[in-house]
Amino acid sequence: MNWQREGRHWPHRDASRFVDVGPMRWHVQCMGQGPVLLLLHGTGAATHSWRGLMPLLAAHFTVVAPDLPGHGFSSPLPRAQCHLPGMSDALAALLQSLGLQPAHIVGHSAGAALSTQFALAGPPGLRRLVWLNGALLPFDGWLGQIAQPMARALASRSWLPRLAAWSARDAAAVRRLIDATGSKLDAQGVALYGALMRSPPHVAGALAMMAGWDLRPLLAALPRLALPVLLLHGTADRTVPVAQSDAVARRLPDAEVQRLDGLGHLAHEQQPDLVAASILRWCGGR
């Protein structure tokens, strides 16, 4: 995406900075004071998805939200590093460059899996995790057998991101895709996702992330995750069924599941006040 063009209308633009770490240029937003709380968005999203939640949390924490590699305004990782361990290592390098150690991490969807990979490495000072509509279980059955090979095949097609970006010029199509998650967003939310979907580099970054995502080792490691975890999940989520959070919680030593009645996969964008209250209860705001 082009910061000079789309960045003019980006939420909390004054909180944005660009950080060069190794081969990557990261777009990061920071606001607030206090213990560091890291926000990790899901596949296909960007920092815009925290627009309502960030100011509420920044009253209690130093909130740090990066665009993940290849997403939004961040550059991609080399294709060989587009997997959970590689992305976690890149995230650790970013935080080291910023001189920050997160006390808490909030991960949405695939961001929950990334937060888990990061936490399993045992970073100092990390105390609690929150997963929003977390996507931590591999697909079952025949879908699980073809999902990742299909994602790899799609990611290797250089023309596909351009075709997807061309299709996203239809605002009604963008809204239908968002509605299919079980969430209803306002006009600003739809417009911001539309801007992302019309960006071939962003689409390519999302496909590369899906192509390298293997949740099986992470699933096997969940019983070793000693940190307390709060699993927030919208009951109307059509992307990741709420039953997945119940199943994941049974594998964890210390977990609590909280249902968000009537909210979909983008629950934190629908009702940021409600989600912020749950995060503050769990992480202990000022």
- pLDDT attached to residue 173: 84
In this prediction, residues 188-212 reach a mean pLDDT of 89
**Please, what sign has the CA dihedral across residues 51, 165, 90, 282?**
positive
- pLDDT attached to residue 231: 98
Condensed to tens digits (0 to 9), the pLDDT of residues 53-98 reads: 999 999 999 999 999 999 999 999 998 898 999 999 999 999 999 9
CATH of domain 6-141+215-283: 3.40.50.1820
Of the CA atoms within 13 Å of residue 251, those in its CB half-sphere come to: 16
Condensed to tens digits (0 to 9), the pLDDT of residues 1-36 reads: 889 888 999 999 999 999 999 989 999 999 999 999
- pLDDT attached to residue 171: 78
pLDDT category of residue 121 using cuts at 50, 70 and 90? very high
Q: Which residue would you say has higher pLDDT here, 209 or 105?
A: 105
Tokens for 164, please give them.
């997807």
- pLDDT attached to residue 145: 42
Q: Quote the percentage of the chain above a pLDDT of 90.
A: 74
Q: Where are the domains of the chain?
A: 6-141+215-283
Condensed to tens digits (0 to 9), the pLDDT of residues 122-180 reads: 999 999 999 999 999 985 543 344 445 555 544 455 545 555 564 656 778 889 999 99
Average pLDDT, the chain: 90
What's the pTM? 0.92
pLDDT category of residue 111 using cuts at 50, 70 and 90? very high
Q: How far does CA 18 lie from the centroid of its chain?
A: 18
How distant, in Å, are the alpha carbons of 41, 78, 90, 98, 242 from that of 22? 22, 11, 9, 13, 38
- pLDDT attached to residue 281: 97
